[in-house]
Every structure is written in C-alpha cells, then in structure tokens.
Amino acid sequence: MNYQNATLELNVGSQPGPKNAQRAEGGTEHGDYGPALLENQLSVGDFVKIQSAFESPEPRQTISMSREEFVQKMKEVIGWGTEKEYQELFDKVDVARDGFINWDKLTSFMLLALYEKDERAKATVVPQWKALEFLPAKHKDIIQKVIFLKSSSRYLTLSKEGLLGIWGENLKLQETLPITTDVTKLKHLWVTSLVSLENVNKIAVAFTSKEICFYDLLSKEEFPCQYKLQGLQATPICMDYWYDPLDANESILSFGDITGKVQAISFTAALISLFERPPGACEDEDTTMTIDWAEVLSGYHKCCYTVQHTLHHGDWVRQVAYDASLDAIVSSTTSNTNTVVLAWREKSKHLKMTSFSIAQGIHAFDYHSRLNLLATAGINNKVCLWNPYVVSKPVGVLWGHSASVIAVQFFAERKQLFSFSKDKVLRLWDIQHQLSIQRIACSFPKSQDFRCLFHFDEAHGRLFISFNNQLALLAMKTEASKKVKSHEKAVTCVLYSSVWKQVISSDTGSTVSFWMIDTGQKIKQFTGCHGDAEISTMALDANETRLLTGSTDGTVKIWDFNGYCHHTLNVGQDGAVDISQILVLKKTVLVTGWERAITVFRPQNFNQFFIQPEEWKGGVEHHDDILCAAFLPPQTLVTGSYDGEIVLWNNSTENAHHVLHPDYQRLLKSKLDTEPHKLLSAGRSRPTTPIADQANLGAYSSEIDTEGNNAVMRLCFLEARTKIAVTEGANLVSCGGSGYVRFWDTFKKQLLAEFVAHSGVGSIIMSIDKLNRYLVTGDLDGWLKIWNIEEYCLNSSKNKVTQPPTLIRSFQPHEDRIICLEMCELGGRWLIISSSADCSISVTDVCGSPVGIFGQAKHWQIEDCISLPKRDTNLMESEIQEKSIRTIPLLSKEELCLGPTEHSLHDKKNKDDSTYNGRASEDINLGMKYKGRNTHRKKTHKLYDVLQKTSSSFRSLSIGALKELPEVSKPTFLLDPEKYFLEEPQEEYPKIPELPPLSETLKAVFDEKNLFPKEILDRERRAKQLRQEISSEVKIKRNKKN
C-alpha cells in the first residue's frame, strides 16, 4: 500500500451512481475492510445535496429527520443507493438512539469515520516502533560498523579500538574479542571499516596501518586472519563489498582513502581463492598469507584485477559503494566540488566518471535501484534525490531537518527513505509525495563531539543508531497493520456504564475512550487526562454521571462525560504512587494501592478544586500494601493486601474487626477495648493484638510472603446470595497470586473453598456477574476461563472444598496479559469485556463466542453475535462433580496455635493432596509494579517483637487470650420453621354485603350551585361580565383606528 491510501478523499463529481454501484457490488474500497460502504461512495456533490435537504427556511436553524424521513429524503435528493444502506447510515449516525439526526450529527460522524480510516491507513504505511532501547555493548571507543551475517544469523559490531562484538539474532551479546592478538600493536592502530564477504564466509577489516585484513568465519579458531593486504598508499577509511548472486565467483571489494582515491578489487574466482598463494606456501588454513598491494596492481594475481580513480582531488572519501544495476562505483566527500562521483565500469576494465557538485558537500548517500534514485545527506540540512543520469539538478529536495543530515537509507520494500540529522532527529519520508510522514527525536546524551552510525536491517525491521560507543535499537512492531488495536498503548482499565450502555477504557498514555457496546463504535475520546502519566484505574459514581481516573502521578480526577474536570484528589501528597483501585461509596471515596493504610476522601467536603485526603479512623491494620477492596451493604468493607491478608472493616465506624488469610485467621480488638492501653502506652499506634494471636502470628512472621504468592488482586462480594447468613455459604471471592481463587464466609470467618484456576502463570484477575452465576478469570498469557458458580459453596461445610466449579469455556482472546475484566448484561445476555497489554479490548459472551474488538473497521450488531449458554449441560456436570468433591479438613482452633514445625507438616500434607503445579516463586509476575520488591522491605517481624516486649510497669496485669464464647443455640423459629411460618388454614368469615351502585342511591345531580355558596357564585358571575365588557370595548377602539 502506498501513502495515497493513507488520506481518504471524497469522490469528485455530483453523480457517481454507476461507478459506485459497481464498486458496491463487486469491488472493495480497501481489501482489508470489506465491501464499500455508502458513506465512502458519497461525492462532494452528494454532500451538498444532503446539506440543502437539512437546511431550514428560517435562518440559523436546521431540520431534524427521523429514520423514515431520512431514508425517503435521501433517495429523493441523491437518486441512488438502497433503502437498507440509508437505514444503516442513519443507525451509525444516531449513536445515542435519539430517533432523529441533523446535519451537525451527520458531519460529526463523517469526520470521525474519516479520521479513524485515515489512522488505519497510516498504520499500514508508517512503521510503528517500540521504545528506544540501548544495547549492553562493551565497546570503549567509537563504533565504526554494524553488519548482519546471514549465514550464521549473527550481528557483528566493531569499534575503533579493534573490539569485535558478536550478537545473536535475539540481540544478546554472545562474546567480545580483539580482532588481532598483537596487543602492543593494537595500541598504535585504529580500525576504520568493516565489511562482510558473505559468499566466501569472511570479513574484511581496514586499519590505519594502511592494511586490509581478511578473517575466516568458518575456522575452528576465533576469526583467524587468512589474508593481509598491506602496502596501500593511504589509509582506507570506508569499504563496500558486492557479489553476484547468480555467480558467487564474481565479486567486487571497493574502498576509499584519505587522499581522495577510490580503488576496487574485482575478484573472478572468489569461491576458489581471493588471492593466489605462492608455490611454496603452506596449505595450513590458519596461516596468514601476506599480499602486497603492488603485486595486485601489477596483475600478479590472476584471479583478480583492480580499477581506480582520483577525481575527488585529495578530499577524504566518506562513503563508497558498488551498485550492480548501474554497474558503477559511487563515492562521496564533504567537498562542494565533485561531491558525488559515479565511476561507470567499461569492458576495457577502465572507468568513466560523472560527478555531482553539491553545496557544502554531503555526509552519506544511498541508492534505490527500482526507483532509480540516489539520495544524499546534505551538510546544508537538505536531503536531495538525484537521477544518476542527470547531474545538473536533483529531481527532488526533502526539507524538514534543522541540522546537518549525517545518514540516509532507503526502506526498499515500502519505497520510503530514512534520514538522520546531527540534532539526533530521525525522519521517514514518503518518496512518491516527497513528504515527511514520521519524525522521531532520539534521546541521546548531549555532547558537542560525537560520531553517529546509522544502519537499518530491513529483513528484521531493526534500526541501529550508535552514539560514540553506545548502541541504540529501534525495533519495528510486527504486523502492525493486521492487528486490531483499541488504543495506541496498553489498556489499563475498562468500565461499563449501564445507564449509557457504553464501555469506558483507559491506557498508559493517559487517554480515555468511550465505546458503544451494541455496535463497537467509538463516540468520543479524552486525551492527556493526566498529562503523560499512566491512568492505572477508573471508577464510576453511583449515578454513573461522574468518572474518576487514578494515575501514577498521585492524583485522582473527577470528570463529567463532557470532559470537564470538577475536582482533583491529591492522593499521593504531591508524589508519584501506584493507585490500584478506587472504591466510591455513599459517603466516602477510598483509594488503595501503594501503602498499608486506606486513603479516604469525603464528598461532603468537596468544596474546592484540589482536595486533600482525610484521616481513616481505623488506622493501619495491614502489614503490606493494600491492592484491592470491596463493599457489601450496609456496612461491610474488606481490603486485600500483597501478603494475602483480607481485613474486614465496619465502614460506619471505620474500625477493623477480623483478619482472614489462607493460612490463619485472627481477631482484632476494637478501638474502645484498646483505648486504655493507648493512654498508658505512648509508643504504640496500632490496636493491641491478643496474646494467642500474637503467638500464631509470630510463627507465621518467619515466613512472610515476599514474592506475592498469596497476593490478593481482586475481591468480589456475592451480593445476589441474600440467604447466605442462614445457609452459611460463601459470600466473598478473592483471587491473585499463584493462580488461586478462594471462597470465604465472612460471617463465620472461614475459608470454604480454594482451587487453582490458572496453573503456572502467576497472578490472575477476575470478575463476577451481578446474579453470581459466572466467574471469569484472566491470566498473564491472555487466557480467559469462565466458571459456573451458581451452585458452588452455597452451604457451609466442615471440610475445605478444593474441587473447582464447572468450567464452561477456556479461550485466549489476547496475546498479552489481561489487565482488567468487566461483565455486563445486555438484553438478558451476559458479556465479558477484557482489556490487555496488547492494546486491545475484546468483547465475548459467556459461551466464549467472540463479538468483536473495539477499534475494528466493521462495526457489529450485538443481537447478531450473542449465543445463549447451554445451562442444562453445565448443571449436569456440576452435579457429577459434586459427587466426587475432594475435601481437606479446616484448621481447628487448636491447630491455629501450633508451632512452626507442626504448621509446616500440616501445610505439607495439604500441598501433597492438592493438584496445583505452579511455577516457582521467583517466576511469579503480578503484572503490576511489585515484581521488583526486595525482602528488606518486609520487616514486619520486628512489629511482633515490639508487641511482645511489654513494659515492666504492667507485669502485674493479667493479659491472656479471650475466653471462648459459649455456643449459642439457634432460635426455635430456625429449628422448627413449620411451627412459626406454616400458613394457617383460613377461617370462614361472614361475607360483607356489596354496596349498591352510586347511580341508584344518588338523589340529585351535583352542580356548582349546590357545591359553592351563593356569594362566591355571584362574584364569579360579575367578574366574567366585566371581562367581556372590557374585551368588547378594546375591539371597538381597534376597529375605529383601522
């Protein structure tokens, strides 16, 4: 595809009917995007007619049309197109489903459609690059050359001091070695250039000692020198090598030196030998054969001959290259005379020269044989395009660089051109239109004296740029045109608004987009919401009229749906923090993610634009950073942390009362119980923990989870289970590290079930529908699993369930880790919205059937894409699995107080019974910024030491464990519900006689005279007469004037 398709233009003409009709039937506007759409076939004349149809006779007013009116009017004014096409166009324009459209809505839709199409076309033309990466090179001096060896799929880098770097195809540095073993001599010479002799598996290296050495790549030794060409008249500073792919014996090595001389060695039997060996020479391949340049010039070596010219007249030859299509040696200097010389080879083995004179000279050049264009990198900031056969003036000049251009190279496949300037700016040019289509400013260190090397490996899509001894890589993103992307950068969060039926998404580039769930159409987009900072999470208020965005810049912003920011919450106290969740409650806004405490804001105090956080009354109860939270009306709040603890809070009092963990549970004293201790013990800020629990925690503190194996990434209450307090089943679900999903009973403070949803992939995330039928889990590899939990853990059990619920479907909608999941109900059917680090947002139904990806070219109709789940099969499977559930006894109260040894034995037994086969702890990746945690941050064992060291003034106090509460018997109405709730037989009561109808009992008809007193009626009558008299007098006067 060329750049002409990157800009969509309207058809010129007023009657495109026959032409466009043919396109609609058999052709496509772009092969990748399906049949031509009606809006893409409309010409400028058609739009003029449409605009006139929307114009109102009254000034500054437009006409709004319904669906039927629009279809009828368009067929009249345009005269072509089917009724279905105009109906589809109306539905696309009427995004809000108002039932009518006007000219403003139509033009807004067309502009957005053109913009999206233009962006898709540009993605196929302009290469998309990964972030600039600096490779760990060990060079200590200027890097002179980068080449790729096709035979061994390796990269070679050579620096000025003679150090050769060998890189694998994956750009991992394999080894570095000096190209000569003569260390004393190496100190007194420099390497100037390097070329690869692919046909004979050798490399040639030029030195300041006026030598060119040829090294064998196939030798068992490390690159032994096979030939040494010495006795050159001047130092070669640039080289080039070419060989004939049809006859590998024919090859040419050309080089230029510091005296302006360009010389070339033409080999005629390269596969046999580059140079002839003397008759008495040893045949050992590791022996270096010395070749004198005078012998080569004299024709002593029959397998090669030389050609040369001195047209550059003493100027350093900066670049030399032989091109087979021209059959000419091209060379350049920084001089303004004979800047570029083309030495055409003739049959007589002589050269015929032509030259270009360019003002101020050039640094480099490149030739494109199919375009027959020679590009030059001018010192005067210009990139010029030349026809090699026309030396008078360039055929094109590319303007745009503000500094001297030091490198140019063609992107041959796409017919584009790279140029790199001295101010470290890279530009990509469209040759056909001579336009700059991409500009990249490279972040190199500031330096006055530097040397840059530019090399583009087109086969691998890698662009190498060196800055002195540093080597940077710009890697092209693969299949950028085929992959559908919803955002330009990784998507961090998705929300669903049931009021507007829209999906709201955010990315790492601080962009928020709004999509229609029923069509996949993007309706608006906010950019730069937090500057350049990443938006890590979002939330909606209860009425879904305000959007809250949390960013790594340490702020939470409150927006309306028109893009206006009403408040900024200063979460991080003017510092950068990792916000993982925003929980909007009735009276508070809770923010978590980067510390052990809950950050709280109270909306009743939102009287300014910048809002500061307030104090959370419950203080700090977690031992690690809080990652997530969930709320269950009327007052239950739970928070989960990185170490696996789940703390239960009373949201009304903001006090914590219990801690849940897969390995233990502990009770927290309330603030009222700890108040006397606070008055006596001045150094303690946390609520006192009971001694029995301290002993238990002391045993656990020696094995603090520093790798996040139990990290709680998501918490969800099962709110639809309204009778759970009676049945004593699970009402809370957690997931996170090691791929586990756990079901909890917050009333009895028990872990009822746990199972491995995704094994060996680290942490996972989840989402649950509002009816609590489906659990959806996603992992770091882009896989989704849908589970049926409708009948899972509905009742309490003495044994912990480890059998997973029924797995409905497992599939992979993304190529990278799933960052956020959301479930929504539309038309009685449940949809799964998943966002990923691969920049896409996918929509699927609960059966795994794909609906589409936001951002795809063709919009969908949601009713045509969704299939209903087969519930009967799932229920049968769940019944079969219930019969074979494996159980593990829960920890009893005595087991909670076991020492470390007994605890480890008990845990080992549980692990042996489990089917989990996860990856090692060092491979766990939470997908957040917790991977690089160091164990020195985990100092929580000191906290328990401090708690156990009581002051001597309180030794006389008896502090022990809380007494066990007596078991409370259930009330009689629960034990015998039939006695209290059984419906009693209805007694026979005497029937109430029916009243006679009003018409039979009414003696007279009511009227105003009977309803109101006579005085009020007389006053009303006089007022009516007075109004009639006044109105008649006014009419008489008006008639007289006329």
Tens digits of residue pLDDT in 204-235? 999 999 999 999 988 777 778 889 999 999 99
360-384 mean pLDDT? 94
- Residue among 246, 225, 339, 342 at smallest CA distance from 290: 225
Tokens of 768: 């649950």
The predicted pLDDT at position 121 comes to 64
Handedness of CA 602, 607, 611, 613 (dihedral sign): negative
pLDDT single digits (tens) 745-804: 998 899 999 999 998 888 899 999 999 999 999 999 899 999 999 999 998 888 899 999
126 neighbors 427 (Cβ within 8 angstroms): no
Q: Is the pLDDT of residue 362 over 60?
A: yes
Amino acid making up residue 987: E
Interatomic CA distance for residues 380 and 394, integer angstroms: 14
- Residue with the bigger pLDDT between 569 and 185: it is 569
Q: DSSP assignment of 341-357, as one string?
A: EEEEE-TTS-EEEEEE-
pLDDT averaged over every residue in the chain: 79
pLDDT confidence tier of residue 684, bands split at 50, 70 and 90: very low
Instruction: Give the number of C-alpha atoms closer than 13 A to the C-alpha of residue 761, restricted to the C-beta side.
Output: 20
Amino acid 653: pLDDT: 92
- Region 711-732: what's the mean pLDDT? 89
- C-alpha span between 885 and 916 (Å, rounded): 16
State the Cα–Cα distance between residues 164 and 204, nearest whole angstrom: 12
Position 269 confidence tier, pLDDT thresholds 50, 70, 90: very high
Q: Can you give the pLDDT at residue 907?
A: 41
Identify the top-confidence range among 29-33, 152-156, 643-647.
Answer: 643-647
**How confident is the model at residue 151, as a pLDDT?**
81
What whole-number distance in Å separates Cα of residue 189 and Cα of residue 845? 69
Residue 1013, C-beta contacts closer than 8 angstroms, at least 6 positions apart: none
Position 641 pLDDT exceeds 60? yes
- 3-class DSSP state for residue 459? coil
DSSP 8-state class, residue 576: -
Task: Please say if the pLDDT value at position 567 is more than 90.
Answer: yes
pLDDT of residue 313: 87
d(CA 996, CA 1006): 19
3-class secondary structure, 571: coil
Q: Which of 22-36, 382-396, 617-631, 789-803 has the lowest mean pLDDT?
A: 22-36
Short-list 873, 791, 787, CA closest to 830: 787
| pLDDT reading at 730 higher than 90 | yes
Q: What is the pLDDT of residues 104-143, one digit of tens each?
A: 888 888 888 887 777 666 555 788 888 888 998 889 889 9
More confident residue, 473 or 1012: 473
Confidence at 1022, pLDDT banded by 50, 70, 90: confident
Tell me which of 260 and 877 has the higher pLDDT: 260
pLDDT, one tens digit per residue, over 542-564 is 999 999 999 999 999 999 998 89
Q: Rounded to whole angstroms, how far apart are CA atoms 485 and 123?
A: 10
User: pLDDT-based confidence at 24, cuts 50/70/90?
Assistant: very low
Q: Select the more confidently predicted residue: 140 or 673.
A: 140
- Assign 528 a pLDDT band (cuts: 50, 70, 90): very high
Q: What is the mean pLDDT of residues 722-728?
A: 79
**308, 261 Cβ separation under 8 angstroms:** yes
Least confident of 229-238, 867-876, 1001-1010: 867-876
Under DSSP, the state recorded for 14 is S
pLDDT in tens, 935-954: 333 333 333 333 333 333 34
- pLDDT at residue 576, as a whole number: 83
Q: What percent of the chain has pLDDT over 90?
A: 43
Provide the pLDDT confidence category of residue 992 given band limits of 50, 70 and 90.
Answer: low
H/E element holding 782?
none
Q: Name which of 34-38, 492-496, 1003-1007 the model is least confident about.
A: 1003-1007
The residues facing 590 across adjacent strands are: 583, 600
At 572 the pLDDT is 85
The DSSP secondary structure of 876-922, one letter per residue, reads: HHHHHHHHT--EEEPP-TTGGG--HHHHHHHHHHHHHH----PPPGG
Residue 705 has pLDDT above 60, yes or no: no
Question: Can you give the pLDDT at residue 628?
Answer: 94
* H or E stretch covering 225: strand 225-230
Q: Which residue, 38, 53, 40, 48, is CA-closest to 14?
A: 48
Q: What is the pLDDT of residue 1009?
A: 58
**CA torsion 72→78→82→87, rounded to 10°?**
-50
Q: Dihedral of CA 810/815/821/825: which sign?
A: negative
Of the candidate ranges 20-29, 86-95, 614-623, 864-873, the one whose mean pLDDT is the lowest: 20-29
pLDDT of residue 30: 37
Please tell me the distance from the alpha carbon of residue 193 to that of residue 146, in angstroms, as a whole number.
10
Tokens representing 486 are 């919803």
Question: Is residue 367 within 8 Å of 326, Cβ to Cβ?
Answer: yes
**pLDDT above 60 for 857:** yes
| Residue pointed to by tokens 């703390």 | 647
Instruction: Determine the Cα–Cα distance for residues 834 and 784; give it in Å rounded to an integer.
Output: 9
Q: What is the mean pLDDT of residues 999-1024?
A: 68
Q: Where are the alpha helices (DSSP H) in 385-534?
A: none
Whether 254 and 263 have beta carbons less than 8 Å apart is answered as: yes
What confidence category does residue 23 fall into, taking pLDDT thresholds of 50, 70 and 90? Answer: very low
Q: Which of 733, 719, 835 is nearest to 784 (CA)?
A: 835
Which tens digits make up the pLDDT trace of 26-84? 333 333 333 467 777 888 888 888 888 888 888 777 788 998 998 888 888 888 888 88
Phi, psi dihedral angles at 999 (to 5 degrees): -65, -25
**Which of the two residues, 24 and 573, has the higher pLDDT score?**
573
- pLDDT above 50 (res 631): yes
Q: For 374-388, 524-538, 573-587, 1005-1019, which range has the lowest pLDDT when averaged over its residues?
A: 1005-1019
Report which of 33, 94, 37 is spatially closest to residue 65, judged by C-alpha positions: 94
Task: Give the percent of the chain with pLDDT over 70.
Answer: 75
Cβ(525)–Cβ(539) below 8 Å? no
